[in-house]
Each structure stands twice: as C-alpha cells, then as structure tokens.
Chain A
Amino acid sequence: MARPERSTSPSAGAAPVGSPGARSFSEALRDRDDAALVALLRARPDLASPSPSTIRSLAARATGRASVDRALAELDTFTLQVLEACAVRGADPHDRTPHTLDVSAVVGGLAPADDVPADDLARAASATAERLEALALVWDAAPPGAPADLRAAPGVLEFLGPYPAGFLAPEPATAPDGDLLAPLDDAPPGARAILDALTWGPPVGVAPRSEARAVAATGWLVTHGLLERLGGDDAGRVAVPAAVALSLRGGLTHRGVRPTPPVPDRAAHPAATVDAEAGRAAEEAVRLVTDLVRSWEQAPPVVLRTGGLGARDLRRLALRLDVDEATAAQVAELALAAELVADDGEVPASFVPTTLVDAWLADDVAGRWADLARAWLTSSRTPWVATTRDAAGTLRSALDPTHTAGWAARLRRTVLDAAASSSAPLAADDVQDVLAWATPRAVPPRDAVAGVWRGAELLGVVALGTLGGPGAALLAEADGGSGASADPVAALDAVLPPEVDDLLLQGDLTGIVPGRPTRDLARLLDDAASIESRGGALTVRFTLDSVTRALAAGSAGDADTLLAALGRHTRGPLPQPLEYLVRDAARRFGRVRVGAALSYVRVDDPALVASFLADPSLRATGLHQLGPTVLAAHVPAAELRTALASSGVSAALEDDEGRTVSTEADRPRTVPPGRRRGRSRYGPPTAAPASAPAERASRAAGLVAARAEAVVGELRSRDTLARAEAAWGRDGAVLAAPRPAAPPGPEPRGTTEPGDLLGLLHDAIAEQTLVSLETVDARGVPVTRTVRPLRLDGGRLRAVDPARDAELTVAVHRIARVVPVHRPAPTTASTEDA
C-alpha cells in the first residue's frame, strides 16, 4: 500500500500535486489536446461508437482486446516492429515509476536490412513511432516536461506473442549493471553456441540432459546468470534472460528491418509495353465475353439445382472460346458480374443474356471493357474457387451462388493498390508477399490473392505484373476522381492500336486488316469470313461456308452487295478467286429457299392465280405467287378462306400438315437481377465500395469527423464533472461512483458502463487500490464487497478480499458496478446512496 498518492489533480486544483511519477495511460490520454483526441477517434472509429462516457472509459476501450486487435490488424510489418520495440524496451504500462525511453532509443534498436540506408530507416521509424502514439498504441508516460517515457499501451503486449521480438520478457530500457557478458570470456566450450542459438529468439530451449559437455555448459551459463531455468509447465527448459539477449544482440531489438514492402528484384517494363499488353488483354477479354453472350443466346446453358453452371456446359464454353476451363469460368463470372447474363428464373432455369446485352454489344471495345472492369472491381463474387475441388473432392461449379465473400471487392482493391505502388513488376506470389508485409496480422488467403490477380490479368487491368494505364484510370474513377485520368474508356482507347479501315485481300482467299478493324469492317468480316489469327492485325479466310453463312444471315445482302462492301474497304480490285467464290456461293446458296407464310392456296387452274393476284380485296392477305398453281399468304388459313369467300370464291380448307411457321427464333432475354424485385441469390452485384484503404479510411473518418468532435466535447465536460465529483466524494467522505450526471441521461441503477468498469478495474490493479465491487450471483442477488483487484484476464477478475483475507475470482459479466475506494473502507460501503 505504499503507493504514492494518485497523481490526478482535481480540477479544482486544490489538491496537492502528487509525486512526479509516470502518468497512467488514461491520464496521458486526458492530457492530449482536443485535436489529438479527435484524430484518435478518426483513426480508430470503433472507439467513438457508441460514444464513450468519459476519458477513462475511452482509455479502457482503447486498451480492450477487441479494439487493440482491430488496430493491430491494420499495421504493417515495420510498424509492428516499432511497436514491439516500444513494448520490449518500454516500462510496464501499469508501472508508475518513471523511466526514460525516447524515439531515438527505439530507432537505435532497429538494424536496417542490407539494402536500406540507415537514415531512411531512422526517419521512417520516427514517423512510425509518432503514428503509433497518435493511434494510442504507444504513449508517453512521462509528465509534460520530463524526458520521454514511451510505452506500449496496456493490452498491446499480449498480442505480440509469448516472446515479443524474440525476448523472454520485456526489458525496459535501464542502464545495464555492468557488462552482463563479461563472464563469457571464461565460458566452457559450447556455451557460446547455446547462447547464439537462443539470442534472436525464440529464447527458450530444452536443457540438454545427456551430453556431458552441453550439460556442463548449460550449468555454467545458469550459474553465471546468462541462462535461467524455467519452472512450472516449462520445467526442463532454459531461457536467455531478456537483458542478456539484448546484450548479445548488441542492444538491438530487430535486425534486417525494412520500412517499405519487399520489392522483387526485376526490371520494370516500359509503360508503353505494359499498356500495349494491357490493351491486348482488354480487347481479348471483351471478345471472350462477347463470344460467350453470342453463344448463350443461341443455346442457353441450364442452371444446376445448386445454381451453378454444369461441368459439361463449362467445357463446351471453353471449347467455343478456345481457352482452358478455368479461364472460361472466369469469363462467365465476368458476364455474370456485369449482369450481361443471368439466371432467367424459369423452370427449368437457364443462364440467358439480359436486356442489358444489346446496349452493351452496341458499345465500342473500350466502353464494353469499362463495363466489365467496373463490375469486376466491385463484385462480391469469388470466381477463383470455381473448377477447384472442395475438401470432399467435389468439383465446385462455376457461377455457383455461394461463391461470394464480403471482402472480395476490398481484396481486389488491396491487390491493385499493391500493384500500383510497386516499382517493380509483380507476380501473384509477390503480391502475396507485399500484402503479408502490409498486414501481417490479417494476411489474405493465397488462393484468393492469386485468383484476384488472374482476374486482373484477364481483364488487362494489370499486364506484365504492372498496373496499366486503363487499370489506373479504373482505380482513379472508383476513388471518385474526375477528368481524363479517371476515365477508363478514354484510357483504354489511348492504348489500343488505332483503328484501320483497310482490308488486304489476296488470291489465297485470305484477308488481312493491318491493325484493329473499325467496327464496320469487323462486323463485315465476322459475318463473311472465319478468323484465322488475331493480334496486331486480323487475319481472316473466306471459305464457301463463311460466305454462304453471310448470305444466309442476310446481313450482308446478296453477292453483289457483299462484293461491294468488301470493295469499299479494299484498295484495288478484288482478287478474281474471291469474286468467283462469292458468286459461286451465291449461285449454290439460292438453290434451296425457305420463306414464311401462314397459309397457302392451291389451285388447278393457273388462270385463277392471276385473278387472285389481281383482286384488290385480297391484297390485305399478302397473297404472293410461289409457283404456277401455288400462292402463299400472310394471314392464317381461316382468315384467308374468309377473305376468299368474300371475293366469291369458296375454298376448301386443308388440314394443318405443311403449314409453314416462322423460323425466326426469338432471342431470349431476361431481366437483370439488379432490376428485379427481391434479392438475387448470386449476391448483390456490387458490394462494398472498392476504394483505397486510405481513401476509405478518410471517407469513414469524414462520416465520423463531426461526430468525433462532438464526442470529444462531451467527454471533456463529463470528465470534468466526474473528477469534480470524485474529489468531492473523497473530501466529503462520500464514496463516489464515476457516474456522469450530464449528457448520457439517467443511468440504470446499480450498473456501470462496461468500458468504464474495466477501466476502473485496470486502474485499481495498477494502483493496487481497493474497489467496492457489486456482483450478481447465480440467483440474481446483488452482493457488494470491497476487494483489491489483482488480475483481469480471459473475462475473469481475480481479486483479494482483505476483510476475509481470501482470493476470489469473478466473471466480469457478473460485475454490476465498481466504485473506487480511496481509503480502506471500514465496511462494505453502500453505493446505493451515492
């Protein structure tokens, strides 16, 4: 109990100033100015909601497991190393005796990696230490004006593993008592090797038992205080004391430290090369999706009962697209993400192009690409699991509705940001390394990173391991940027080769467009020729089949129209063999003809035909002559018969056989899920906004900014009130509950806000003071007793009841109320009348 008086000075300022001990975490927090508190709440928004009632409860929340875990998850490897250094070299957070540890001491303990200049490291480490302080993960326990006393915030150390930075225990920065390692000069053989093995951690090893020399060396080391034997569960093990390890490390806490993410040792590609590849991939991706849409509008694949695409349909698609099945699955996912195809909901259900398709197809390559890329970037789908096998060995189907994850969009963004900020080209594994460096406590799964990377490569968002121009524009647009640099359509147009409206036709019936064909030309060639090779140029071959197809489709018209169309794009005359081919195809093509009619008229006498054709009253029936004695009409047979009857001709109705119906197949279309009522089972088309973490943070911060300021204002006023109350209670022998009287409104009787409650308990543990503890027992009966809290962990409080001189353990959730007791309480104090 020989503790110094609480150093908290009451706001009245009447109380004597306490001894110049270290500040507690909450005191240090209180001493921050408002701007710093607002900054903290912005950086760790979870601290601000719900609003903490007092600075104390803010401190409790900031050191609580959940919040610390969340804050650490966002730290990169380097920041964690600096934090470890502070935790190891700083004093225990609850220790009220002053220590000194300044930033330069922390930085001095970090040895840079070989290729990192020491200056850079020092600069980065200082900035990082400041950031950690701003985040309240590190605080300066020294009172204002005293030399710095940096410490890791309470609760941080337990997240740094059993051996933080490879030390057995934290080793606060104190002047060493002489040279710890001096005895080593006389060490027996093997002793040094034992120490060397344990120096950089883990610091614990199994003590040798059989080999005499090693046993002797170990014994010698223990005798000289260079090793210690562990007890308890660790019996039979030895460890290097932290102070010794630190000396062995030459005062360093970390080595090989690099303040920036690992960069693979590869030369960067020129931007033009990257953009050319990106353009190529983008064009190809658009082509693949276009082909998919065209193929599925002809033959929509069936939706499996589970909602996915069947393996056979996937294989068929892969064949049609001339890619492997994994790529085909990705292409299908792209189309699904962009809502170009969807489950039509019919029975049986099929994947069918949506109503968006026609507008999409009418757009140019860059526009189509941008639609795909935007949908991809924000999609919550995880297409990379398709075509892999689950734990039971079952093949996962493509387009399965369960292949979604809330983090998918965020991961895409993180991966692309890693590519954007890397100076060297990355492979999927390098991206994984970068992400592992950036958030070592929350590393995304390797297959997901690789899957995202493949998707980005397929779309040409990244090419040659580098974020290309179009990809950069896509990200800029997602960040809400404006102007040319944030327009993916323009960015892709800029990197695609110029359009060429020139067709070189040759005697071997090939045609070559020496560049990217104009839309007109591309359509003509798509119709009338088969594509032989793509790339910088387009090579096509005209065959009897392809020309016949064009003539049959009717879009190219007859032989003369087709030849004229080809001629328009060609310099010089058409090669004779090509002309011959087209005419030959037309000659063959016309030999069998098919037309649509709803009814027909057969007569015996050709003269009747002439009279029907001449009759104006029959004109509305669309009668036309097919043969000398056959006419067809565009109205149903019954109607035609009526029309004939009104012209005075009584016609016999033949039975239905031979009736022609329209062969024009309806192109199926379905409504995109986003425009339907109810939720799609493929998840929402767009998930979380895929913006940069920094941007995201700032946006989130923007939302809480105003709130943060309001919260700080409230905190200040409540805090002042609470402390005044406390001071009054102490002086007036009334035990005070830190009950805010102001803003939060009336508090339920007999409870205390959990954050506050834990804060009070932490403080009491640190200060070894008494508290009045109201617990609720299993039957729901409140019990109040005065205790001295010892430890708080795993949701349990261990405390000593001085009155009974017994230890007790209470589950935190059973504690209803905690009231600090500043003097030994004569009785179990009644809090009811506070």
Chain B
Amino acid sequence: MTDGPLIVQSDKTLLLEVDHPRAAEARRAIAPFAELERAPEHVHTYRLTPLGLWNARAAGHDAEQVVSALMDYSRYPVPHPLLVDVAETMARYGRLQLVKHPTHGLVLQSLDRAVLTEVLRSKRTAGLLGERIDEDTVVVHPSERGHLKQVLVKLGWPAEDLAGYVDGEHHDITLTPDGWELRPYQEHAVESFWHGGSGVVVLPCGAGKTLVGAGAMAKSSTTTLILVTNTVSARQWKDELVRRTSLTEDEIGEYSGARKEIKPVTIATYQVLTTKRKGVYTHLELLDARDWGLVVYDEVHLLPAPIFRMTADLQARRRLGLTATLVREDGREDEVFSLIGPKRFDAPWKDIEAQGYIAPAECVEVRLTLPDGERMAYATTEPEDKYRLAASASGKNRVVEQILAKHPDDQALVIGQYIDQLHELAEHLDAPLITGETTVRERQRLFDAFRTGEIQHLVVSKVANFSIDLPEASVAIQVSGSFGSRQEEAQRLGRVMRPKHDGRTAHFYAVVARDTVDQDFAAHRQRFLAEQGYAYRIVDAEDLDDTLDAERAG
C-alpha cells in the first residue's frame, strides 16, 4: 500500500486528491485514458470508460501502462477485477483493422480470427461487408466504411482505421504569425491530430480552438470544408482565418441560408446541411462539390444526428473535430468516436486557466424570494408553466440592476431564455437586445459596438450561446436558462472566460427564484460549475449588497 494520491473505486471512478504532492504527476499519468468527470476543489473524479481506454489505445498507450499507472499512484490495492477489465477492454481495440488491400481495395483485416467470425455472424454487419478473401480478410464496401466503424464500436470491437485518406485538392495555406504565434498547447493539439489522422481536439471555450483549426489547415494545405453551428460563427471563422492565415476573403466561401458560395475553403452551417425539402437533403452536393482534403467540425458535441449520417460517407477524408467537451446530452459519444475519430488532444480547463490563457471566473447564485402574490400564482400554475413563471419573476430585474451597479466598469452580458422577459429587462436597463429576430447585420453591429466599449450592457437570448466572440465581457448574468443543460452552462461560462486584457476576474451570476423549479435547475448548474472547479457561492438577494460590498472590501 503506497501513500498515493489516487483512490480507485470498484465502480471504475478514480479519485484524485489534488492537494497531494504527487497529484500533478498522477494526473499526467492517468489523463490519457481516464475522462475527467468533475474537478471540484479537493478531489477530482475521473472515470474509466471503454471509449476512454480505446482513445488511449489509439494514442499508442497499452494496457500495461494503464495498469501500472493505476497501481503506482493508488493509495489502496486496486480492485483486481477492474485491472482485468481494463486489460480486456483495451485488448479489444485494433483486433480488427481497416486497411487498403492492393487488389481488393478497402478490407477489414483481423488479427484474431474468432473476433472476425463473431463480427461476421452479427446481424448488424450484414450488408456492410463483401466477400471473404481469406481466413482473416473481408472486403468492405467503401461506402460503408463509416457505418462499419459505428457498428464495430457498438459490438465492442472497435476497428483501427489504417486505410488512409484521399489527398484532396491541393491549396496553399500558411499561418501568418505576425505578432502572435500558436500557443504551445495549440501546437501540440495540431501535431497530435495530424499524427493520428482524424480525431477530436478537446479545448475549453476561449482556449483558441479556431487557431487549432487554422493550424490543421496549414498543415494539410488542401481545400477545406468547415462545418459550424450558425451564421455568426461562420463569419467569425472567416474573419479569424483571414487574419491568421495566408487565405484572402476571396478564397473563403460561405455556404449558409443567406449565401451559397463554394470556394477552396468553404464554411457551411449545420443548419443548411440538414435542411430538407420534400424529405430530401437538398445541399448534400456540397460534400462532393470539391475534392476536400480536410473537413473541420466545430462544436462536435452539438453535431446534429443527420450530420453523423453524412459524415459516415466522408470516411476517406481527414476529419478534425473541435469541442469544449466530449459529453453529449444525447449520449452519442460513441458515434463521435467512430465517425470523426478518437480524442487526439485534451487539456483540462483549469490547467489552461492556470497557464493564464483564460480568465479565472467566480460564480454566484443569487436567490430571490418571490413576493407573496407571485408565490401564490406559482403554487397554482400548471406544472408545465411553472418554470417559465419562476424564471421570469419580475423581481429579477431589480437584482440584475443591483449586480450591474456593483460592476460599474465592466462589460456585462445579460442572458435569458424568454423573449418577453428580455424585452422588459432591456427596457429596464436601457440596453440593446439581441434575439433570434435580430438581423445578422444588426447583430454584427451591436457586437462590434460592445467590443469597442461603445455599449456596456447587452441583453441576449440563447442565440448568443454559440461561437460568438465577446472578448471584453467580464460579467455575465443569467436570468433564465433552458432547464439546466450542462452544455449551455459551459457555453455561457465560455462567454465570460476570454482572457481579459487587465487580468481581471470574470463574474458569472445566476439569478434564481427561491423554492421553485428554477432553484432545482440551478442546482444542476451549480453542480456542473463546481465540478468544473469554479468557486461557487449562494447569496440571498436581500444580502446581495452587503455580500458584494464585503467582498470588494475584502
């Protein structure tokens, strides 16, 4: 029994005591194969999952390394069945390989005949595989490369894809590092991706994922298709690429609801790709419009299901996924693994924050007691309307005002779900409002004004959740949200976590109505944020002034 920082639980969670002198060392040792599940102040929880272990295998780690890392740092004897399970799970990856056969083209090759037999017997592989060339080799229909990989992951025998990629159409792209350069972890992420072929890079919001994309494009120097969540995001990618690379505006096309350009580098939205007319995806031709050498997926954790299906057909092209989290609310992590590729790079938020690349943030939940009249109204409301009623409690306006008064010099965003409430708030605060109805031009104008400091307060609906870049927002106030989604929380926090030029602490406030479902949803948020390691406090609205003043004084 050593005095290690790690405790291995029978349920495959790993507890890492962060104040232990060997904690950093242990973290590095387990990071390749264990997923960080939560990172509160004292003990971080990692989890061993088959996908995590396969990710590690794909990155070249073997079971012995994993087992020895666990044993070396564990405080108590590691449960033996767990070690056996780790070894067995890892041994499942790569028993089957997808390779290019000189005469038969794409084939599935087995290093273990029994596995191949098991897989061939399965109903799920029917139609994906062609004739059996010999004992260990089966022809794969090239169009089914992605589907086959999906099925194999589901069967528990993930295949290693060694079949390579088409080169794609060459197009010169270089980075133009004038006064900036890739941060070391970004460089590392690009290298890891390129070395692995295809896969996902996990970086926190604000850590410069776009630059990793640009780096990968420079490395590839081919025509590139970039898939992003929405039009604003598409514009920002375009600006960033023009600024950071040798690409000019003319070389970059936008393929969205508004414009349909196909250029050597084309940025398309998920929405346009998934638009159906008479049951047919009308814009699929985009995928074959050019001989793309690289496909970049922004915000992989939001990738809609139809895109997975289309991606399954893109397996011969290099794919780079960018995301802040591999956690998907719909649990389709395994599809990301099989269709885009294994995780190639990951850096915990706090590590990057500690390196000073993202702003430290402080989270405060303000609990507002509803006046008696509203409480009575709440008690008698139909259950499906309760959240809306609680979330848009009128008292919140005053609380928001109070908070803003405490941050007279900060750029502040007020974020909410319900348009009525936001209109009211905007009026109350005398601040401009951005909703889904705001035109793209108007949005851009307001964002620019906010950036320059011309506007200090901005009220936004959930359209602002994704991929907008507001470098100077150092205070975010959430008045209502969509039922405590983890993703949303990560995005909102991301809004305020861009590095501040003066190194100020960012503030994230959530205003919550006490003793209502609003508070229950807030509990989810609190858990998520605390698990991410952010200081989290709960303050009563009545004590808000005192508390914030005391803090300022302290």
Task: List the interface of chain A (C-beta within 8 A of B).
Answer: 269, 272-273, 276-277, 280, 464, 497, 504-510, 512, 514-515, 533-537, 539, 544, 575-577, 580, 588
Across-interface contacts of A537 in B (CB, < 8 A): 7, 9, 15
Q: Is the CB of B77 within 8 A of A272?
A: yes
Q: Is the CB of A533 within 8 A of B7?
A: no
Least Cβ–Cβ distance between B2 and chain A, in angstroms: 12
A506 to B526, CA, bound (A): 12
Least Cβ–Cβ distance between B554 and chain A, in angstroms: 14
A208 to B263, CA, bound (A): 87
30 interchain pairs, CB-CB under 8 A: A269-B80, A272-B77, A277-B77, A277-B79, A277-B80, A497-B1, A497-B76, A505-B42, A506-B40, A506-B530, A507-B40, A507-B530, A508-B38, A508-B40, A508-B526, A512-B15, A512-B43, A514-B75, A515-B7, A515-B76, A534-B9, A534-B10, A534-B11, A535-B13, A536-B7, A536-B75, A537-B9, A576-B536, A577-B526, A588-B515
7 A-B pairs besides A276-B80, A512-B42, A576-B536 with CB distance below 8 A are A277-B79, A504-B17, A507-B41, A507-B530, A508-B531, A533-B10, A536-B9
Across-interface contacts of B11 in A (CB, < 8 A): 533-535
B398 is an interface residue with CB less than 8 A from chain A? no
Least Cβ–Cβ distance between B364 and chain A, in angstroms: 10
Least Cβ–Cβ distance between A743 and chain B, in angstroms: 64
B527 is an interface residue with CB less than 8 A from chain A? yes
B535 is an interface residue with CB less than 8 A from chain A? yes
Q: Is the CB of A514 within 8 A of B17?
A: yes
A575 to B535, CA, bound (A): 10
Main secondary structure of the interface of A (DSSP, over half): mixed
Least Cβ–Cβ distance between A80 and chain B, in angstroms: 37
- Count of B interface residues, CB-CB < 8 Å: 31
A508 to B10, CA, bound (A): 22
Contact of A509 among B8, B42, B527 (CB under 8 A): B527
Q: Is the CB of B536 within 8 A of A577?
A: yes
B537 is an interface residue with CB less than 8 A from chain A? yes
Task: List the interface of chain B (C-beta within 8 A of A).
Answer: 1, 7-11, 13, 15, 17, 38, 40-43, 45, 74-77, 79-80, 515, 523, 526-527, 530-531, 535-538
Q: Is the CB of A577 within 8 A of B40?
A: no
Across-interface contacts of B15 in A (CB, < 8 A): 512, 514, 536-537, 539
A512 to B77, CA, bound (A): 18
CB-nearest residue of chain B relative to A516? Answer: B76
Q: Is the CB of A535 within 8 A of B75?
A: no
Least Cβ–Cβ distance between A512 and chain B, in angstroms: 5
Q: Is the CB of A273 within 8 A of B42?
A: no
Across-interface contacts of A539 in B (CB, < 8 A): 9, 13, 15, 45
Say whether, besides A514-B17, A533-B9, A539-B13, A507 and B536 are in contact (CB < 8 Å).
yes
User: Which of A277, A507, A588 has the most chain B CB within a 10 Å cutoff?
Assistant: A507
User: Which of A280, A497, A534, A577 has the most chain B CB within a 10 Å cutoff?
Assistant: A577
A504 to B44, CA, bound (A): 11
CB-nearest residue of chain A relative to B363? Answer: A507
Least Cβ–Cβ distance between B323 and chain A, in angstroms: 22
Q: Is the CB of B77 within 8 A of A507?
A: no
CB-nearest residue of chain B relative to A506? Answer: B40
Q: Is the CB of A536 within 8 A of B76?
A: yes
Q: Is the CB of A506 within 8 A of B538?
A: no
Across-interface contacts of A509 in B (CB, < 8 A): 526-527, 530
Across-interface contacts of B17 in A (CB, < 8 A): 504, 514
Q: Is the CB of A276 within 8 A of B77?
A: yes
Least Cβ–Cβ distance between B234 and chain A, in angstroms: 36
A575 to B527, CA, bound (A): 13
Least Cβ–Cβ distance between B34 and chain A, in angstroms: 14
Say whether, besides A280-B79, A536-B74, A577-B537, A508 and B527 are in contact (CB < 8 Å).
yes
Across-interface contacts of A510 in B (CB, < 8 A): 38, 40, 43
Q: Is the CB of A535 within 8 A of B43?
A: no
Across-interface contacts of B13 in A (CB, < 8 A): 533, 535, 539
Q: Is the CB of B538 within 8 A of A576?
A: yes
A577 to B536, CA, bound (A): 7
CB-nearest residue of chain A relative to B77? Answer: A276
Across-interface contacts of A273 in B (CB, < 8 A): 77, 80
Across-interface contacts of B76 in A (CB, < 8 A): 276, 497, 515, 536
Across-interface contacts of A505 in B (CB, < 8 A): 42
CB-based closest 9 A-B pairs? A535-B9, A508-B530, A276-B77, A536-B76, A506-B40, A507-B530, A537-B7, A504-B42, A535-B10
Across-interface contacts of A544 in B (CB, < 8 A): 523
Across-interface contacts of A276 in B (CB, < 8 A): 76-77, 79-80
Least Cβ–Cβ distance between A248 and chain B, in angstroms: 41
A544 to B527, CA, bound (A): 13
A510 to B39, CA, bound (A): 11
Across-interface contacts of B531 in A (CB, < 8 A): 508
Contact of B537 among A272, A464, A506, A576 (CB under 8 A): A576
Across-interface contacts of B523 in A (CB, < 8 A): 544
Least Cβ–Cβ distance between B512 and chain A, in angstroms: 12
Across-interface contacts of B77 in A (CB, < 8 A): 272-273, 276-277, 536
Across-interface contacts of B530 in A (CB, < 8 A): 506-509, 577
User: Which of A464, A535, A588 has the most chain B CB within a 10 Å cutoff?
Assistant: A535
A491 to B76, CA, bound (A): 18
Q: Is the CB of A535 within 8 A of B538?
A: no
Across-interface contacts of B45 in A (CB, < 8 A): 539
Across-interface contacts of A536 in B (CB, < 8 A): 7-9, 15, 74-77
Least Cβ–Cβ distance between B265 and chain A, in angstroms: 42
A576 to B537, CA, bound (A): 6
CB-nearest residue of chain A relative to B514? Answer: A584
Across-interface contacts of A580 in B (CB, < 8 A): 538
Least Cβ–Cβ distance between A322 and chain B, in angstroms: 11
Least Cβ–Cβ distance between A282 and chain B, in angstroms: 14
Across-interface contacts of B10 in A (CB, < 8 A): 280, 533-535
CB-nearest residue of chain A relative to B538? Answer: A580
Q: Is the CB of B7 within 8 A of A514?
A: yes
A273 to B74, CA, bound (A): 13
Contact of B8 among A272, A507, A535 (CB under 8 A): A535
Least Cβ–Cβ distance between A729 and chain B, in angstroms: 76
A607 to B13, CA, bound (A): 65
Across-interface contacts of A280 in B (CB, < 8 A): 10, 79
CB-nearest residue of chain B relative to A507? Answer: B530
Least Cβ–Cβ distance between B320 and chain A, in angstroms: 32
A577 to B40, CA, bound (A): 13
A588 to B77, CA, bound (A): 43
CB-nearest residue of chain B relative to A464? Answer: B80
